[in-house]
Structure 1
Amino acid sequence: MSAEARVPHATRKPRKQVRYKFQFTRDLRFQDTNYKTVTSMEYLSTNYGQRTARIIHSFISCIHRKINHDVSKISDNVVLKLIRPMDKLKLFLLLVTLSQRGGPDYWLDKHGKPNSSDYEEEVEPKNIKKEPKLFCTLLENVMRENIKKNFDETLYDENYVYSSIWANFMEGLINHYLERVIIPKSERKVCQQLYKPMMKIISLYNEYNDLIEKSENSGFMLDSKSSSDNDNVEVKLANAQKLLWKARQDIPKTISKELTLLSEMYSTLSVEEQDYQLDQFVCCAEEYIELVYLPSLIDVLFANCGSVDFWKIMFVLEPFFYYIEDLPDESSSLDIEVIDPEDGLDKEPRKPDPRVATLEKICEVAAKENWI
């Protein structure tokens, strides 16, 4: 009998299950692709310079993190049993359609000529007599979900389809990088700039609390004086109490003014910094993404087509195809119910001051970055 078998069952330690973590650059096949080459720092530095290479590599790392994290959460059983064949066909069609654009051919039409029209503009409807349709093709269904609810294959040429799918996917990836990297980076920079003004407001608030305590104590002292005390002392105490009570009214006004200023500065600086960071990123990385990265990524996906990991990755990437969406109906903004502000004051709790939310945000970042 083994030593393990002799140990009572209740005293055995449960085996720790190690959760499988997918890694894009480790678990896929890269044969006959140049993906690892064109995403390496050596390649990027040589072709774009150190600064641009760091920005581009940050984008690639962000996309890898997204894929690695989400693929690791999807079990093989989901792919093998839960994803329907029609869903797989749809995902594959998106990839095939995506592959029709990108690289040097991105700005060329189907005849190999420069495409002068903006790929986001609608193609003029063709003068074709429409026949009643009994069913839609899979491509038309995908386009209706992806680009336009009223998409009709008789009104749009294939160049519109390919360019729209490509534009959506690229915008989706850039938007993901914006949310995960650019916005947090901008917030940290802005919060660092506003850290001292925030501390000034906190100092005023602490001063206000001290004055409240002092004014209460002085009032108590004044009330406790006996008639035998010196009149001069009473006058001094009364004057001190008046000054403290005046400060109690003035400081909250100052705090409110400083809070408003801080909130306005935060909003303005955040927008400016995000726009600046996004412009810097687009100037550095847009051409690389269009001409190098996406075509190479597509090659890798085709090289792994049909595998369990391939379907997981396509499932993760699918939302990026739907970045550009129909704008809401502008007329809906007119259908607003006018409510008397006096109604329901006792029913709903008072909403928090948005200026305080700005203060809390700066405090949160300051604590996270160990500035405090």
Structure 2
Amino acid sequence: MVDTSEDVSARKCGCEKCRPTKKKPVRYRFNFLKNMNLRQGNYEAITSMPYLAQKYGEKRAENISRFVKCIHKQINSGVNRISDLQVNSLLPWTRVRLFLLLVTLSQKGGSDYWIQAGVEVRDSPKPPKIKEKEPSKPMETQQELPYGTLIEEIMRQNINENFKESEHDENYVFSSIWANFMEGLINHFLEKVIIPNSEKKVCQQLYKPMMKIISLYNEYNDLMEKSERNGFLPANEEPPSELAGAGESENSSENNKLQTAQRLLWQARQDIPKTISKELTLLSEMYATLSADEQDFELDEFVCSAEEYIELEYLPSLIEVLFANCGTANFWKTMIVLEPFFYYIEEVADEDSSSIQDESSKPDPRVVTLEKICQVAAEQDWI
């Protein structure tokens, strides 16, 4: 094909009108409901709002739907951050570990787990199975290896560092993996949905009290600025000692008025900051108490609404979807995103290390409270 004179001149010209437009590359955006194979199971049906509302009622359905959307959002955003190159570069060991986690998860749950809810399978393992005595082996083979089986490594590194297959039966492993995954999903929902919603409600209640404190602080600053600008009483300066007694001054009536005003101003400088400090402390304490109460209430309400559904319907269907897509790039990406949920363990602060920390380095909780309320107020356009 021969270029025309117009094409040649357009390439030579550098203006915006003549410059050829470049096509922007279309970035692939993963969506769990659209890009995963859902045809072999009932995942799409059991997560739909009509199904949830009919089976669980509108209120419970809303809580469940928020949870499902939260998990979808986490999977979608996580998968979109993982490239095909990263998936193709996965070590065989990593693929085996991820697949084993899914297989282990599939061994527990559903109706079996719900029936055993009264049994303390989550916290205490069942007694180990009695094994038949094996023939004696040479001493070198009886020594404990520096590493165990794959399931031992997974349990030791992520759930129980003292785990030994000889001391725990299959039920302990399956229940631990299942319970940790459940806790991981619920904890994620707590962090992403319940806590922000609770903070929003509490900040809304404390917004007006906070604004009164800020208003008092601004008035105090204005008063100090005007008094210093007029030379009325410089900052950090106390009134003369002779002003302490009323009626003892020999100055004119104008001087008496000035001295009285100076005494009142000096007293205000002492009292108003104390009042503001007390109000800030009270505000911070109210925020901490109300936040904890609101979070506990919303978490209890969510668990009552959704725990049975998650165990009986959601997780079995999710497992079915993952198996149906096993081996695909989207499967490995999804498992990478979900893997941290298998290892949910609530972090406990080390008392020794926390006591060593310098108390002065910790931010003032009153300032933190003010910043949080202001942040939420800005996001919600209350200001």
Calculate the TM-score normalised by the size of structure 1.
0.86
- For residues 86 and 375 of structure 2, the distance between their equivalents in structure 1, rounded to whole angstroms, comes to 38
Residue 365 of structure 1: SS of its match in structure 2? Answer: helix
Aligned position for 1:91: 98
The 5 Å alignment of 1:117-156 reads: 117-124=120-127, 131-134=142-145, 135-156=147-168
Q: Mark the CA change 1:303 to 1:126 in structure 2 (over 3 Å): closer, same or farther.
A: closer
2:272 is equivalent to residue 251 of structure 1: yes
2:197 is equivalent to residue 178 of structure 1: no
- For residues 148 and 230 of structure 2, the distance between their equivalents in structure 1, rounded to whole angstroms, comes to 83
Aligned position for 1:300: 321
Structure with higher Rg: it is 2
Q: Confirm or deny: 8 A CA contact 1:39 1:57 kept in the other structure.
A: yes
Q: Mark the CA change 1:288 to 1:62 in structure 2 (over 3 Å): closer, same or farther.
A: same
Residue 272 of structure 1: SS of its match in structure 2? Answer: helix
Q: Mark the CA change 1:257 to 1:287 in structure 2 (over 3 Å): closer, same or farther.
A: same
2:369 is equivalent to residue 358 of structure 1: yes
- For residues 46 and 88 of structure 1, the distance between their equivalents in structure 2, rounded to whole angstroms, comes to 40
2:205 is equivalent to residue 193 of structure 1: yes
Q: Mark the CA change 1:21 to 1:256 in structure 2 (over 3 Å): closer, same or farther.
A: same
Out of 340, 361, 376, the position equivalent to 1:319 is: 340
Cα offset, 1:215, TM superposition: 2.4
Write the letter of the residue equivalent to 1:362: I
Write the letter of the residue equivalent to 2:107: Q
Number of equivalent positions: 350
Cα offset, 1:216, TM superposition: 1.8
- For residues 356 and 112 of structure 2, the distance between their equivalents in structure 1, rounded to whole angstroms, comes to 51
Out of 84, 97, 116, the position equivalent to 2:119 is: 116
Q: Confirm or deny: 8 A CA contact 1:147 1:325 kept in the other structure.
A: no
- For residues 292 and 355 of structure 1, the distance between their equivalents in structure 2, rounded to whole angstroms, comes to 44
Cα offset, 1:335, TM superposition: 9.6
Aligned position for 2:330: 309
Identity %: 58
Residue 313 of structure 2: SS of its match in structure 1? Answer: helix
Residue 341 of structure 2: SS of its match in structure 1? Answer: helix
- Unmatched runs of 5 consecutive residues or more in structure 1: 223-229, 342-348
Cα offset, 1:18, TM superposition: 3.0
2:279 is equivalent to residue 268 of structure 1: no
Cα offset, 1:337, TM superposition: 5.1
Aligned position for 2:171: 159
Aligned position for 2:109: 102
Encode CA deviations 1:30-61: one digit per residue, 9 max, x unaligned.
11200000000010000000111011000000
- For residues 350 and 32 of structure 1, the distance between their equivalents in structure 2, rounded to whole angstroms, comes to 56
Aligned position for 2:226: 214
Encode CA deviations 1:177-217: one digit per residue, 9 max, x unaligned.
00000000000000001011101110110111122023224
- For residues 184 and 362 of structure 2, the distance between their equivalents in structure 1, rounded to whole angstroms, comes to 34
Aligned position for 2:241: none
Q: Mark the CA change 1:93 to 1:351 in structure 2 (over 3 Å): closer, same or farther.
A: closer
Cα offset, 1:243, TM superposition: 1.1
Q: Confirm or deny: 8 A CA contact 1:219 1:241 kept in the other structure.
A: no
- For residues 334 and 122 of structure 1, the distance between their equivalents in structure 2, rounded to whole angstroms, comes to 31
Cα offset, 1:121, TM superposition: 1.2
Q: Confirm or deny: 8 A CA contact 1:186 1:273 kept in the other structure.
A: yes
Cα offset, 1:147, TM superposition: 1.8
- Unmatched runs of 5 consecutive residues or more in structure 2: 135-141, 235-250
Out of 235, 251, 254, the position equivalent to 1:233 is: 254
Q: Mark the CA change 1:79 to 1:370 in structure 2 (over 3 Å): closer, same or farther.
A: same
Q: Confirm or deny: 8 A CA contact 1:204 1:255 kept in the other structure.
A: yes
Q: Mark the CA change 1:357 to 1:116 in structure 2 (over 3 Å): closer, same or farther.
A: closer
Residue 282 of structure 2: SS of its match in structure 1? Answer: helix
The 5 Å alignment of 1:24-63 reads: 24-63=32-71
Calculate the TM-score normalised by the size of structure 2.
0.84
Q: Mark the CA change 1:205 to 1:4 in structure 2 (over 3 Å): closer, same or farther.
A: farther
Write the letter of the residue equivalent to 2:175: S
